[in-house]
Structure 1
Amino acid sequence: MTSTIDRDRTTAGPVRPRAALFDLDGTLVDTNYLHTLTWWQALHQHGHDVPMAEIHRAVGMGGDRLLDHVLGAGHDHREDQALDDAHHALYATWFDALPVLGGARDLVRAVAARGMRVVLASSASADEVAAIRKALGVDDVVHGATSADDVESTKPAPELVERALELAGVEAGEAVFVGDTVWDVKAAARAGVACVGLLTGGVSEAELTAAGPVTVYRGPGELLRGIDSSPFAAVTA
Protein backbone atom coordinates (compact mmCIF):
# COMPACT_ATOMS: atom_id res chain seq x y z
CA MET A 1 0.00 0.00 0.00
CA THR A 2 1.21 3.52 -0.77
CA SER A 3 -0.28 6.29 1.33
CA THR A 4 -0.20 9.81 -0.09
CA ILE A 5 -3.33 11.36 1.36
CA ASP A 6 -2.91 14.79 2.93
CA ARG A 7 -4.56 14.47 6.34
CA ASP A 8 -4.63 18.00 7.74
CA ARG A 9 -5.99 17.87 11.29
CA THR A 10 -8.30 20.36 12.89
CA THR A 11 -8.25 20.97 16.62
CA ALA A 12 -11.04 18.40 16.92
CA GLY A 13 -8.63 15.69 15.82
CA PRO A 14 -9.29 12.52 13.84
CA VAL A 15 -12.51 10.56 14.29
CA ARG A 16 -13.94 7.46 12.70
CA PRO A 17 -15.98 8.34 9.59
CA ARG A 18 -19.75 7.94 9.70
CA ALA A 19 -20.21 6.95 6.05
CA ALA A 20 -18.47 4.85 3.40
CA LEU A 21 -19.25 5.86 -0.17
CA PHE A 22 -18.43 3.33 -2.87
CA ASP A 23 -18.11 3.58 -6.61
CA LEU A 24 -19.10 0.28 -8.26
CA ASP A 25 -17.57 -0.43 -11.69
CA GLY A 26 -13.88 -1.23 -11.28
CA THR A 27 -14.13 -0.76 -7.52
CA LEU A 28 -16.38 -3.58 -6.30
CA VAL A 29 -17.01 -5.37 -9.61
CA ASP A 30 -14.44 -6.11 -12.33
CA THR A 31 -16.33 -4.47 -15.18
CA ASN A 32 -14.23 -1.59 -16.55
CA TYR A 33 -12.96 -3.65 -19.46
CA LEU A 34 -16.47 -4.92 -20.17
CA HIS A 35 -17.54 -1.28 -20.47
CA THR A 36 -14.53 -0.57 -22.66
CA LEU A 37 -15.39 -3.42 -25.01
CA THR A 38 -19.11 -2.66 -25.22
CA TRP A 39 -18.54 1.07 -25.77
CA TRP A 40 -16.04 0.16 -28.52
CA GLN A 41 -18.63 -2.11 -30.12
CA ALA A 42 -21.34 0.55 -29.89
CA LEU A 43 -19.08 3.20 -31.42
CA HIS A 44 -17.94 0.80 -34.14
CA GLN A 45 -21.57 0.02 -35.03
CA HIS A 46 -22.07 3.73 -35.70
CA GLY A 47 -18.94 4.20 -37.76
CA HIS A 48 -16.57 5.55 -35.12
CA ASP A 49 -13.07 4.08 -34.92
CA VAL A 50 -11.90 4.85 -31.38
CA PRO A 51 -8.99 2.92 -29.80
CA MET A 52 -9.98 0.86 -26.78
CA ALA A 53 -7.19 2.44 -24.73
CA GLU A 54 -8.81 5.84 -25.19
CA ILE A 55 -12.23 4.49 -24.24
CA HIS A 56 -10.84 2.79 -21.15
CA ARG A 57 -9.39 6.06 -19.89
CA ALA A 58 -12.88 7.60 -20.04
CA VAL A 59 -14.66 4.77 -18.20
CA GLY A 60 -16.01 6.09 -14.92
CA MET A 61 -17.71 9.06 -16.53
CA GLY A 62 -21.40 9.01 -17.39
CA GLY A 63 -22.25 8.16 -20.99
CA ASP A 64 -22.77 11.79 -22.02
CA ARG A 65 -19.36 12.89 -20.75
CA LEU A 66 -17.66 9.78 -22.11
CA LEU A 67 -18.85 10.48 -25.64
CA ASP A 68 -17.62 14.07 -25.47
CA HIS A 69 -14.31 12.77 -24.18
CA VAL A 70 -13.71 10.19 -26.93
CA LEU A 71 -15.45 11.91 -29.87
CA GLY A 72 -14.85 15.56 -28.96
CA ALA A 73 -17.33 18.09 -27.64
CA GLY A 74 -18.12 19.16 -31.20
CA HIS A 75 -19.32 15.74 -32.40
CA ASP A 76 -22.85 15.24 -33.72
CA HIS A 77 -24.86 14.93 -30.50
CA ARG A 78 -27.93 13.75 -32.41
CA GLU A 79 -26.54 10.20 -32.27
CA ASP A 80 -25.66 10.24 -28.58
CA GLN A 81 -28.84 8.47 -27.49
CA ALA A 82 -28.40 5.77 -30.12
CA LEU A 83 -24.80 5.22 -29.00
CA ASP A 84 -25.82 5.09 -25.35
CA ASP A 85 -28.63 2.66 -26.12
CA ALA A 86 -26.28 0.43 -28.12
CA HIS A 87 -23.74 0.35 -25.30
CA HIS A 88 -26.44 -0.41 -22.77
CA ALA A 89 -27.86 -3.27 -24.82
CA LEU A 90 -24.42 -4.80 -25.28
CA TYR A 91 -23.43 -4.37 -21.64
CA ALA A 92 -26.78 -5.73 -20.41
CA THR A 93 -25.88 -9.13 -21.86
CA TRP A 94 -23.42 -9.38 -18.96
CA PHE A 95 -25.92 -8.56 -16.21
CA ASP A 96 -26.19 -12.16 -15.04
CA ALA A 97 -22.42 -12.72 -15.02
CA LEU A 98 -20.90 -9.57 -13.50
CA PRO A 99 -17.60 -10.53 -11.80
CA VAL A 100 -17.31 -9.38 -8.19
CA LEU A 101 -13.78 -8.41 -7.17
CA GLY A 102 -12.07 -10.45 -4.48
CA GLY A 103 -12.71 -9.05 -1.02
CA ALA A 104 -15.39 -6.61 -2.20
CA ARG A 105 -18.31 -8.15 -0.34
CA ASP A 106 -16.31 -8.56 2.86
CA LEU A 107 -15.03 -4.98 2.62
CA VAL A 108 -18.54 -3.56 2.40
CA ARG A 109 -19.67 -5.68 5.32
CA ALA A 110 -16.59 -4.74 7.34
CA VAL A 111 -17.18 -1.00 7.10
CA ALA A 112 -20.87 -1.48 7.88
CA ALA A 113 -19.95 -3.59 10.92
CA ARG A 114 -17.85 -0.67 12.13
CA GLY A 115 -20.96 1.47 12.26
CA MET A 116 -20.58 3.34 8.97
CA ARG A 117 -23.47 3.95 6.59
CA VAL A 118 -22.72 2.39 3.21
CA VAL A 119 -23.87 4.35 0.16
CA LEU A 120 -23.20 3.34 -3.43
CA ALA A 121 -22.41 6.19 -5.85
CA SER A 122 -22.02 5.20 -9.49
CA SER A 123 -22.03 7.01 -12.84
CA ALA A 124 -23.82 3.96 -14.27
CA SER A 125 -27.52 3.92 -15.07
CA ALA A 126 -30.04 2.82 -12.47
CA ASP A 127 -30.59 -0.62 -14.01
CA GLU A 128 -26.84 -1.21 -14.26
CA VAL A 129 -26.53 -0.32 -10.58
CA ALA A 130 -29.39 -2.72 -9.80
CA ALA A 131 -27.59 -5.54 -11.65
CA ILE A 132 -24.37 -4.86 -9.72
CA ARG A 133 -26.23 -4.81 -6.41
CA LYS A 134 -27.73 -8.19 -7.26
CA ALA A 135 -24.27 -9.58 -8.06
CA LEU A 136 -22.78 -8.18 -4.86
CA GLY A 137 -25.51 -9.49 -2.58
CA VAL A 138 -24.83 -7.00 0.23
CA ASP A 139 -28.05 -5.00 0.16
CA ASP A 140 -28.75 -5.91 3.78
CA VAL A 141 -25.93 -3.53 4.82
CA VAL A 142 -26.39 -0.87 2.12
CA HIS A 143 -27.97 2.33 3.41
CA GLY A 144 -28.66 3.82 -0.04
CA ALA A 145 -27.53 4.16 -3.64
CA THR A 146 -27.40 6.80 -6.34
CA SER A 147 -26.76 6.59 -10.07
CA ALA A 148 -26.41 8.73 -13.20
CA ASP A 149 -30.20 8.85 -13.38
CA ASP A 150 -30.31 10.91 -10.16
CA VAL A 151 -28.06 13.82 -11.20
CA GLU A 152 -27.59 16.27 -14.05
CA SER A 153 -23.80 15.95 -14.18
CA THR A 154 -21.87 12.73 -13.63
CA LYS A 155 -18.26 12.30 -12.51
CA PRO A 156 -15.89 14.11 -12.45
CA ALA A 157 -18.58 16.62 -11.36
CA PRO A 158 -19.18 16.30 -7.60
CA GLU A 159 -22.98 15.85 -7.79
CA LEU A 160 -23.01 12.07 -7.34
CA VAL A 161 -20.76 12.29 -4.30
CA GLU A 162 -22.82 15.14 -2.88
CA ARG A 163 -26.00 13.14 -3.44
CA ALA A 164 -24.42 10.16 -1.67
CA LEU A 165 -23.59 12.41 1.28
CA GLU A 166 -27.23 13.50 1.43
CA LEU A 167 -28.39 9.88 1.43
CA ALA A 168 -25.93 9.05 4.21
CA GLY A 169 -26.99 12.12 6.19
CA VAL A 170 -23.39 13.21 6.83
CA GLU A 171 -21.06 16.11 6.07
CA ALA A 172 -18.16 15.77 3.62
CA GLY A 173 -15.62 15.51 6.46
CA GLU A 174 -17.48 12.56 7.95
CA ALA A 175 -17.19 10.30 4.89
CA VAL A 176 -14.64 8.35 2.87
CA PHE A 177 -15.14 7.65 -0.84
CA VAL A 178 -13.68 4.58 -2.57
CA GLY A 179 -13.14 4.60 -6.34
CA ASP A 180 -10.85 3.37 -9.07
CA THR A 181 -10.56 6.14 -11.68
CA VAL A 182 -9.22 9.67 -11.85
CA TRP A 183 -12.85 10.76 -12.34
CA ASP A 184 -13.73 9.27 -8.95
CA VAL A 185 -10.81 11.03 -7.28
CA LYS A 186 -11.68 14.37 -8.86
CA ALA A 187 -15.37 14.09 -8.00
CA ALA A 188 -14.59 13.25 -4.39
CA ALA A 189 -12.08 16.10 -4.11
CA ARG A 190 -14.56 18.60 -5.53
CA ALA A 191 -17.10 17.44 -2.95
CA GLY A 192 -14.52 17.75 -0.16
CA VAL A 193 -14.50 14.04 0.64
CA ALA A 194 -11.39 11.99 1.48
CA CYS A 195 -10.78 9.40 -1.23
CA VAL A 196 -9.30 5.92 -1.33
CA GLY A 197 -8.18 4.70 -4.76
CA LEU A 198 -8.10 1.08 -5.94
CA LEU A 199 -5.95 -0.17 -8.83
CA THR A 200 -8.57 -2.73 -9.93
CA GLY A 201 -9.96 -0.44 -12.64
CA GLY A 202 -6.77 -0.50 -14.70
CA VAL A 203 -5.59 3.01 -13.83
CA SER A 204 -2.04 3.39 -12.55
CA GLU A 205 -1.19 4.51 -9.04
CA ALA A 206 0.67 7.51 -10.48
CA GLU A 207 -2.43 8.67 -12.37
CA LEU A 208 -4.69 8.26 -9.34
CA THR A 209 -2.38 10.12 -6.97
CA ALA A 210 -1.83 12.89 -9.53
CA ALA A 211 -5.58 13.47 -9.59
CA GLY A 212 -5.58 14.61 -5.97
CA PRO A 213 -4.83 13.54 -2.38
CA VAL A 214 -5.62 9.83 -2.23
CA THR A 215 -4.51 6.64 -0.56
CA VAL A 216 -4.05 3.80 -3.05
CA TYR A 217 -4.53 0.06 -2.51
CA ARG A 218 -4.22 -2.77 -4.99
CA GLY A 219 -7.84 -3.76 -4.53
CA PRO A 220 -10.69 -4.23 -2.07
CA GLY A 221 -8.98 -7.24 -0.50
CA GLU A 222 -5.85 -5.26 0.40
CA LEU A 223 -7.96 -2.38 1.72
CA LEU A 224 -9.92 -4.84 3.86
CA ARG A 225 -6.73 -6.30 5.34
CA GLY A 226 -5.48 -2.84 6.23
CA ILE A 227 -8.80 -1.27 7.13
CA ASP A 228 -7.87 -0.36 10.68
CA SER A 229 -4.90 1.71 9.49
CA SER A 230 -6.74 3.18 6.49
CA PRO A 231 -8.77 6.40 6.16
CA PHE A 232 -11.72 4.32 7.38
CA ALA A 233 -10.06 4.27 10.80
CA ALA A 234 -10.07 8.04 11.16
CA VAL A 235 -10.82 11.21 9.21
CA THR A 236 -10.75 14.83 10.21
CA ALA A 237 -13.82 15.91 12.15
Structure 2
Amino acid sequence: MNDLVRPPSPAFVFDLDGTLVDSVYQHVVSWQEALAEAGIKLATWRIHRKIGMSGGLFVRGVQRETGIELSPAEVERLQDAHGRRYAARVPEVQPLPGAPELLRYLTDAGIKWTIATSGRRSGAEPMLAKLGAPADLPMITRDEVARAKPDPDLFLAGAAKLGVDPRDCVVVGDSIWDLLAARRAGSLGVGLLSGGYGQEELERAHAFRVYEEPGDLLTHIDELGVRGAGA
Protein backbone atom coordinates (compact mmCIF):
# COMPACT_ATOMS: atom_id res chain seq x y z
CA MET A 1 0.00 0.00 0.00
CA ASN A 2 1.22 3.49 -0.79
CA ASP A 3 1.75 5.40 2.48
CA LEU A 4 2.29 8.75 0.73
CA VAL A 5 0.12 11.40 2.37
CA ARG A 6 -1.47 13.69 -0.17
CA PRO A 7 -2.13 17.32 0.79
CA PRO A 8 -5.82 18.31 1.13
CA SER A 9 -5.39 20.95 -1.59
CA PRO A 10 -2.77 21.38 -4.32
CA ALA A 11 -0.07 24.00 -4.19
CA PHE A 12 0.06 26.59 -6.96
CA VAL A 13 2.98 27.69 -9.12
CA PHE A 14 2.16 30.72 -11.24
CA ASP A 15 3.79 32.09 -14.32
CA LEU A 16 3.99 35.90 -14.11
CA ASP A 17 3.76 37.71 -17.45
CA GLY A 18 0.33 37.32 -19.00
CA THR A 19 -0.80 35.19 -16.07
CA LEU A 20 -0.74 37.52 -13.07
CA VAL A 21 0.31 40.80 -14.69
CA ASP A 22 -0.78 42.33 -17.98
CA SER A 23 2.69 42.62 -19.50
CA VAL A 24 2.74 40.43 -22.62
CA TYR A 25 2.41 43.27 -25.07
CA GLN A 26 5.01 45.37 -23.29
CA HIS A 27 7.37 42.45 -23.81
CA VAL A 28 6.36 42.15 -27.47
CA VAL A 29 7.06 45.82 -28.19
CA SER A 30 10.29 45.73 -26.19
CA TRP A 31 11.53 42.76 -28.22
CA GLN A 32 10.50 44.46 -31.46
CA GLU A 33 12.47 47.58 -30.53
CA ALA A 34 15.48 45.50 -29.44
CA LEU A 35 15.41 43.63 -32.74
CA ALA A 36 15.17 46.92 -34.64
CA GLU A 37 18.31 48.12 -32.82
CA ALA A 38 20.06 45.08 -34.27
CA GLY A 39 18.67 45.78 -37.74
CA ILE A 40 16.22 42.86 -37.62
CA LYS A 41 12.62 43.28 -38.75
CA LEU A 42 10.06 40.81 -37.46
CA ALA A 43 6.28 41.08 -37.47
CA THR A 44 4.61 41.68 -34.11
CA TRP A 45 2.54 38.50 -34.30
CA ARG A 46 5.64 36.38 -34.79
CA ILE A 47 7.19 37.91 -31.69
CA HIS A 48 4.04 37.28 -29.66
CA ARG A 49 4.11 33.58 -30.50
CA LYS A 50 7.49 33.29 -28.77
CA ILE A 51 6.67 35.19 -25.57
CA GLY A 52 7.00 32.82 -22.62
CA MET A 53 10.15 31.14 -23.90
CA SER A 54 13.52 31.89 -22.40
CA GLY A 55 15.33 34.80 -24.02
CA GLY A 56 17.87 32.41 -25.49
CA LEU A 57 15.24 30.23 -27.16
CA PHE A 58 13.44 33.35 -28.34
CA VAL A 59 16.55 34.56 -30.13
CA ARG A 60 17.17 31.11 -31.59
CA GLY A 61 13.65 31.14 -33.02
CA VAL A 62 14.23 34.61 -34.48
CA GLN A 63 17.42 33.44 -36.17
CA ARG A 64 15.63 30.45 -37.66
CA GLU A 65 12.75 32.55 -39.02
CA THR A 66 14.89 35.36 -40.43
CA GLY A 67 17.94 33.36 -41.53
CA ILE A 68 20.13 35.87 -39.70
CA GLU A 69 23.07 34.44 -37.77
CA LEU A 70 24.06 36.23 -34.58
CA SER A 71 27.28 35.83 -32.65
CA PRO A 72 27.12 35.09 -28.89
CA ALA A 73 28.03 38.72 -28.22
CA GLU A 74 25.22 39.93 -30.51
CA VAL A 75 22.74 37.60 -28.79
CA GLU A 76 23.75 39.00 -25.42
CA ARG A 77 23.38 42.58 -26.66
CA LEU A 78 19.94 41.75 -28.04
CA GLN A 79 18.75 40.32 -24.73
CA ASP A 80 20.21 43.29 -22.85
CA ALA A 81 18.40 45.67 -25.22
CA HIS A 82 15.11 43.89 -24.53
CA GLY A 83 15.71 44.13 -20.80
CA ARG A 84 16.47 47.83 -21.06
CA ARG A 85 13.41 48.54 -23.18
CA TYR A 86 11.13 46.50 -20.92
CA ALA A 87 12.47 48.12 -17.75
CA ALA A 88 11.28 51.49 -19.06
CA ARG A 89 7.75 50.05 -19.36
CA VAL A 90 7.57 48.37 -15.95
CA PRO A 91 5.76 51.32 -14.31
CA GLU A 92 2.83 50.93 -16.74
CA VAL A 93 2.36 47.19 -16.11
CA GLN A 94 -0.63 46.39 -13.90
CA PRO A 95 -2.04 43.18 -12.34
CA LEU A 96 -4.58 41.30 -14.40
CA PRO A 97 -8.16 41.46 -13.08
CA GLY A 98 -8.55 39.29 -10.00
CA ALA A 99 -4.87 38.46 -9.58
CA PRO A 100 -4.33 40.12 -6.16
CA GLU A 101 -7.62 38.67 -4.92
CA LEU A 102 -6.68 35.16 -6.11
CA LEU A 103 -3.33 35.26 -4.35
CA ARG A 104 -4.92 36.67 -1.19
CA TYR A 105 -7.53 33.91 -1.24
CA LEU A 106 -4.87 31.21 -1.46
CA THR A 107 -2.87 32.82 1.34
CA ASP A 108 -5.90 33.14 3.62
CA ALA A 109 -6.85 29.52 2.92
CA GLY A 110 -3.36 28.34 3.91
CA ILE A 111 -2.62 27.05 0.42
CA LYS A 112 0.99 27.23 -0.69
CA TRP A 113 1.80 29.23 -3.81
CA THR A 114 4.70 30.88 -5.55
CA ILE A 115 5.71 32.49 -8.84
CA ALA A 116 8.10 30.95 -11.37
CA THR A 117 8.91 33.23 -14.28
CA SER A 118 11.21 33.05 -17.27
CA GLY A 119 11.86 36.76 -16.75
CA ARG A 120 14.84 38.13 -14.89
CA ARG A 121 14.53 39.06 -11.23
CA SER A 122 15.12 42.75 -11.97
CA GLY A 123 11.92 42.86 -14.02
CA ALA A 124 9.89 40.51 -11.82
CA GLU A 125 10.47 41.94 -8.35
CA PRO A 126 8.64 45.25 -8.98
CA MET A 127 5.51 43.22 -9.75
CA LEU A 128 5.29 41.75 -6.24
CA ALA A 129 4.16 44.98 -4.60
CA LYS A 130 1.60 45.54 -7.37
CA LEU A 131 0.18 42.06 -6.71
CA GLY A 132 0.14 42.57 -2.95
CA ALA A 133 2.61 39.69 -2.60
CA PRO A 134 5.13 39.59 0.23
CA ALA A 135 8.56 40.96 -0.64
CA ASP A 136 10.15 37.74 0.65
CA LEU A 137 8.04 35.47 -1.57
CA PRO A 138 10.14 32.44 -2.60
CA MET A 139 9.89 33.41 -6.26
CA ILE A 140 11.89 31.60 -8.93
CA THR A 141 13.29 33.59 -11.86
CA ARG A 142 15.33 32.79 -14.96
CA ASP A 143 18.51 33.75 -13.11
CA GLU A 144 18.18 30.71 -10.84
CA VAL A 145 17.74 27.79 -13.25
CA ALA A 146 19.80 26.21 -15.99
CA ARG A 147 16.98 26.20 -18.55
CA ALA A 148 13.77 28.17 -18.87
CA LYS A 149 10.49 27.16 -20.49
CA PRO A 150 9.58 24.96 -22.23
CA ASP A 151 12.00 22.99 -20.03
CA PRO A 152 10.47 22.15 -16.63
CA ASP A 153 13.28 23.62 -14.49
CA LEU A 154 11.37 26.72 -13.32
CA PHE A 155 8.32 24.81 -12.17
CA LEU A 156 10.37 22.04 -10.57
CA ALA A 157 12.31 24.70 -8.66
CA GLY A 158 9.06 26.39 -7.64
CA ALA A 159 7.70 23.13 -6.23
CA ALA A 160 10.98 22.54 -4.40
CA LYS A 161 10.84 26.03 -2.85
CA LEU A 162 7.38 25.20 -1.54
CA GLY A 163 8.52 21.79 -0.27
CA VAL A 164 5.87 20.09 -2.42
CA ASP A 165 6.02 17.22 -4.89
CA PRO A 166 5.53 18.66 -8.42
CA ARG A 167 2.71 16.13 -8.87
CA ASP A 168 0.83 17.97 -6.12
CA CYS A 169 1.14 21.33 -7.88
CA VAL A 170 -1.16 23.19 -10.22
CA VAL A 171 0.87 25.24 -12.69
CA VAL A 172 -1.01 28.25 -14.03
CA GLY A 173 0.22 29.89 -17.23
CA ASP A 174 -0.96 31.74 -20.31
CA SER A 175 1.17 30.18 -23.05
CA ILE A 176 1.70 26.82 -24.69
CA TRP A 177 5.28 26.99 -23.38
CA ASP A 178 4.00 27.14 -19.79
CA LEU A 179 1.80 24.11 -20.32
CA LEU A 180 4.51 22.10 -22.02
CA ALA A 181 6.86 22.84 -19.11
CA ALA A 182 4.11 21.96 -16.60
CA ARG A 183 3.52 18.62 -18.27
CA ARG A 184 7.23 17.84 -18.30
CA ALA A 185 7.38 18.72 -14.59
CA GLY A 186 4.58 16.24 -13.88
CA SER A 187 2.21 18.97 -12.67
CA LEU A 188 -1.38 19.75 -13.59
CA GLY A 189 -1.45 22.58 -16.13
CA VAL A 190 -4.13 25.27 -16.15
CA GLY A 191 -4.31 27.88 -18.91
CA LEU A 192 -5.42 31.51 -18.94
CA LEU A 193 -6.51 33.42 -22.04
CA SER A 194 -5.01 36.66 -20.70
CA GLY A 195 -1.73 36.21 -22.58
CA GLY A 196 -3.31 36.08 -26.02
CA TYR A 197 -3.25 32.33 -26.79
CA GLY A 198 -6.56 30.75 -27.77
CA GLN A 199 -8.47 28.17 -25.76
CA GLU A 200 -7.98 25.41 -28.33
CA GLU A 201 -4.23 26.03 -28.43
CA LEU A 202 -3.98 25.78 -24.66
CA GLU A 203 -6.15 22.67 -24.57
CA ARG A 204 -4.00 21.03 -27.26
CA ALA A 205 -1.04 21.75 -24.98
CA HIS A 206 -2.88 19.69 -22.33
CA ALA A 207 -4.43 22.39 -20.15
CA PHE A 208 -6.77 20.68 -17.68
CA ARG A 209 -8.94 23.80 -17.58
CA VAL A 210 -8.78 27.15 -19.38
CA TYR A 211 -10.05 30.35 -17.75
CA GLU A 212 -10.23 33.91 -19.03
CA GLU A 213 -8.03 35.58 -16.39
CA PRO A 214 -7.10 35.20 -12.70
CA GLY A 215 -10.49 36.43 -11.45
CA ASP A 216 -12.26 33.79 -13.52
CA LEU A 217 -9.97 31.12 -12.10
CA LEU A 218 -10.82 32.30 -8.58
CA THR A 219 -14.54 32.01 -9.33
CA HIS A 220 -14.03 28.38 -10.40
CA ILE A 221 -11.26 27.48 -7.94
CA ASP A 222 -13.22 24.49 -6.61
CA GLU A 223 -12.82 22.83 -10.03
CA LEU A 224 -9.12 22.45 -9.24
CA GLY A 225 -9.66 20.53 -6.02
CA VAL A 226 -9.03 23.51 -3.77
CA ARG A 227 -10.60 23.32 -0.34
CA GLY A 228 -10.57 26.49 1.70
CA ALA A 229 -10.57 26.65 5.46
CA GLY A 230 -13.23 24.34 6.88
CA ALA A 231 -14.09 22.82 3.51
Q: TM (normalized to structure 2)?
A: 0.90
1:55 partnered with 2:47: yes
What is aligned with 1:173?
167
TM superposition shift of 1:20: 1.1
What is aligned with 2:101?
106
Identity among equivalent pairs (%): 34
What is the letter of the counterpart of residue 157 of structure 1? D
Deviations 1:154-204 (A, max 9, x none): 000000000001100010222111110000000000000001110000000
1:26 partnered with 2:18: yes
Question: In structure 2, the residue corresponding to 1:145 is in which secondary structure?
Answer: coil
Q: Give the RMSD, CA atoms, in angstroms.
A: 2.2
Q: Unaligned stretches of 5+ in structure 2?
A: none
1:226 partnered with 2:220: yes
1:117 partnered with 2:112: yes
TM superposition shift of 1:48: 0.6
Q: 1:204 aligns with which of 193, 198, 206?
A: 198
Change (3 A) 1:11 1:223: farther
Separation in 2, partners of 1:130, 1:164: 16
What is aligned with 1:37?
29
Q: Which has the higher strand share?
A: 1
Question: In structure 2, the residue corresponding to 1:21 is in which secondary structure?
Answer: strand
Question: In structure 1, the residue corresponding to 2:97 is in which secondary structure?
Answer: coil
Question: In structure 1, the residue corresponding to 2:78 is in which secondary structure?
Answer: helix
What is aligned with 1:7?
none
Separation in 1, partners of 2:137, 2:111: 9
Aligned residues: 224
What is aligned with 1:5?
none
Q: TM (normalized to structure 1)?
A: 0.88
What is the letter of the counterpart of residue 30 of structure 2? T
* Bigger shift: residues 164-173 or 106-115: 106-115
What is aligned with 1:182?
176
TM superposition shift of 1:39: 0.1
Separation in 2, partners of 1:136, 1:110: 12
What is aligned with 1:128?
123
Contact 2:190 2:210 in 1 (8 A): yes
Question: Which structure is higher in RCO with an 8 Å CA cutoff and minimum separation 6?
Answer: 1
TM superposition shift of 1:143: 4.4
